[in-house]
C-alpha cells in the first residue's frame, strides 16, 4: 500500500510528524496511568531501566543513549537518589564524571515497573489491529534506530 503525501500540507491529521507527536502524547498518558501507583514517570523509568541494562555508563553516556538532556538527567538522578532508588558516585579517573547505580530499593521498584510498563505497551498496541502491530513496531524501531546513528 502506497501512501501519497501532498506537496503542501493542508491538514494536520494527514501529517506523519503531527501524528507521531499525538501518538507520543497517548503513549505517555497510558504509561503514566499504569505507573502512577509507583510514582514513576516515563523518563524516570527510562533512566532506571538504562542504568539496570548498562551499569557502567557515565551520566553523560546515559544522556546520549536516552535522549534526556544532561541537566534534566542530573536533576532527575538527584530526586531518585533522595527517594533511595539510585546512588551517584564519582567515576574513577574523572573529576566531574558521575556513575549511577540502582540501590536494592531501586531494583525492586524497577522490577515492579517493568510489569506495568509491559501493560502500558500492550494497552497502546491493543489500539492497533493485530495484523498491523508488527508493521507499527517495525516503523517505530526504524525511527528510533535513526537516533543511534552518527549525524
Please check whether residue 38 lies inside any domain of the structure. yes
Enumerate residues 6+ apart whose C-beta is below 8 A from 66: 43, 46, 47, 50, 73
Report d(CA 80, CA 28) in Å as an integer.
20
For the segment 17-30, the average pLDDT, to the nearest whole number, is 95
Mean pLDDT within 117-140: 96
Stretch 103-128: mean pLDDT, rounded? 97
Q: State the distance between the two ends of the chain, measured CA to CA, in whole angstroms.
A: 31
| pLDDT of the residue at 147 | 85
Query: What CATH number does the domain containing 36 carry?
Result: 1.10.10.10
Model confidence at 96: pLDDT above 80: no
Q: Would you say the pTM of this structure is higher than 0.95? A: no
99: domain range?
A: 13-143
Structural domain count, the chain: 1
Q: How far is CA 89 from CA 9, 65, 75, in A?
A: 50, 19, 15
* pLDDT value of residue 106: 98
Amino acid at each position: 500500500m502506497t501512501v501519497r503525501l501532498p506537496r503542501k500540507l493542508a491538514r494536520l491529521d494527514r501529517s506523519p510528524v503531527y501524528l507521531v507527536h499525538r501518538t507520543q502524547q497517548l503513549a505517555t498518558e497510558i504509561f503514566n496511568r499504569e505507573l502512577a501507583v509507583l510514582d514513576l514517570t516515563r523518563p524516570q523509568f527510562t533512566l532506571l531501566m538504562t542504568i539496570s541494562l548498562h551499569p557502567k555508563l557515565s551520566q553523560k553516556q546515559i544522556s546520549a543513549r536516552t535522549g534526556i538532556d544532561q541537566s534534566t538527567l542530573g536533576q532527575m538522578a538527584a530526586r531518585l537518589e533522595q527517594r533511595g532508588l539510585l546512588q551517584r558516585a564519582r567515576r574513577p579517573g574523572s573529576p566531574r564524571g558521575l556513575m549511577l547505580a540502582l540501590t536494592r530499593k531501586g531494583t525492586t521498584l524497577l522490577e515492579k515497573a517493568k510489569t506495568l510498563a509491559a501493560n502500558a505497551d500492550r494497552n497502546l498496541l491493543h489500539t492497533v489491529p493485530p495484523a498491523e502491530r508488527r508493521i507499527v513496531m517495525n516503523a517505530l524501531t526504524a525511527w528510533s534506530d535513526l537516533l543511534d546513528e552518527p549525524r
